[in-house]
Amino acid sequence: MAGSENSTFMIEIITPERKFFQREVQCVIVPAPDGELGILKGHAPTVAAISTGLIKIKYEDKWIEAYTSEGFLEVRSDETIILSQEVEWPDEIDLKRAKAERQRAEERLRQAESMRQYRESRITLTRELVKLQVKNHYKSLE
């Protein structure tokens, strides 16, 4: 671990409801519109959109993961900040609620009367499908 101290940087993950995570980390990988974006210490200053998916964080030589909805990431010289509408640890995801939300989104998608309704329903459906995927992945590891 002595060598990894020099390769860490501060990350802060914030949602409208809470400061989700704030620590020195070795690496973070976020979902991006065109794939994944990996950040290590010394990364060039960047502002980027993040997509709904899985945030992977290397912290104290171990990988931890969390669900995230869309948002933005800013890499600064001394820290990385992630602003997201919603971030949850796998054990925080309510499986019954996610299934119910998925079903409602699927129904709204079928009944959409405008492109706006269709897009909003599609975004909600994507969020709930990713939550279910994350939750099911972690249930299978238990």
Mean per-residue pLDDT, 86-101: 88
Domain edges within the chain: 3-88, 93-141
Q: What is the tens place of the pLDDT at every residue in 28-56?
A: 999 999 999 999 999 999 999 999 999 99
CB distance 132 to 99 below 8 Å: yes
Q: Looking at domain 3-88, what is its CATH homologous superfamily? A: F0F1 ATP synthase delta/epsilon subunit, N-terminal (2.60.15.10)
Rounded distance between C-alpha atoms, residue 142 and residue 133, angstroms: 15
What is the dotted CATH code of the domain comprising 93-141? 1.20.5
Q: Is-above-0.75 flag for pTM?
A: yes
Mean per-residue pLDDT, 88-108: 87
Task: Among 1-10, 57-66, 91-100, 130-139, name the one with the lowest average pLDDT.
Answer: 1-10
Beta strands in 15-140 (DSSP E): 19-25, 27-32, 35-40, 46-50, 53-59, 62-68, 71-75, 79-84, 87-88
Q: What is the tens place of the pLDDT at every residue in 74-89?
A: 999 889 999 999 999 9
Residue 92: Cβ within 10 Å count: 12
- What is the chain's Cα-based Rg? 17
